[in-house]
Amino acid sequence: MATEKLLLEKWRSLTLEQQQAVLHFIELLDTNVIRATDPAFLPAKTPLGKKLQEIRAQIIASGTPLLTIEDVEREVAERRGGYRGD
């Protein structure tokens, strides 16, 4: 029960925007989008890895959905001029 009390205390100190980000994160956990084996949750070994993890955390906190591999490939193709959305 101590954990629940701590969570509630922390929750009450968050702004509305931060609470929305927490709810979005919980939804991701609930749908198994985020998994314990996700490399993004392992400690970074390089400065670049740390920076990328920080960027990912900011995106998640903003509520913006993460791109799938298909989304990334489509964006790369669009930027290279090779994607046609027929």
> Is 32 inside a domain boundary?
yes
Q: Which domain holds residue 38?
A: 2-79
Q: Are 41 and 34 in contact (CB under 8 A)?
A: yes
Give the number of domains in the chain. 1
Pick the residue with more confidence: 40 or 54? 54
Residue 83: which pLDDT band, with cuts at 50, 70 and 90?
A: low
Cα maximum dimension of the chain: 55
> Is 85 inside a domain boundary?
no
> Is 31 inside a domain boundary?
yes
> Is 86 inside a domain boundary?
no
> Is 60 inside a domain boundary?
yes
> Is 30 inside a domain boundary?
yes
Q: Which of 5-14, 20-29, 43-52 has the lowest mean pLDDT?
A: 20-29
Question: In the predicted model, what is the mean pLDDT of the chain?
Answer: 82
Q: Rounded to whole angstroms, how far apart are CA atoms 19 and 43?
A: 25
> Is 84 inside a domain boundary?
no
> Is 27 inside a domain boundary?
yes
- The whole-model pTM stands at 0.45
Residue 70 one-letter amino acid: E
Over residues 24-41, the pLDDT tens digits come to: 877 777 666 656 666 666
